[in-house]
């Protein structure tokens, strides 16, 4: 068993032998890119409101 400590201080206990497959890594990357796109859109909307 291993531990992963998150930025919020939560501790997740995980199997040490858990490995990402190429497929699961691609899915995770896609989800991160989608969140990043949403974040960029929010930033742009905030900038547009501040300019008014």
List average pLDDT for each run of 10 residues in the chain, which is 52 residues long: 59 62 88 94 95 86
pTM of the model: 0.54
Q: What is the pLDDT of residue 50?
A: 94
Q: What is the pLDDT of residue 23?
A: 87
Q: What is the pLDDT of residue 4?
A: 56
Assigned token pair, 2: 């291993």
Q: What is the pLDDT of residue 5?
A: 57
How many CB atoms within 10 Å of residue 24?
10
CA–CA gap between residue 31 and residue 23 (Å, rounded): 13
């Amino acid at each position: 068993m291993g531990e992963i400590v998150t930025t919020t201080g939560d501790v997740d206990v995980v199997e040490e032998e858990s490995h990402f497959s190429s497929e699961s890594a691609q899915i995770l990357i896609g989800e991160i890119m989608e969140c990043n796109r949403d974040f960029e859109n929010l930033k742009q909307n905030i900038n547009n409101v501040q300019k008014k």
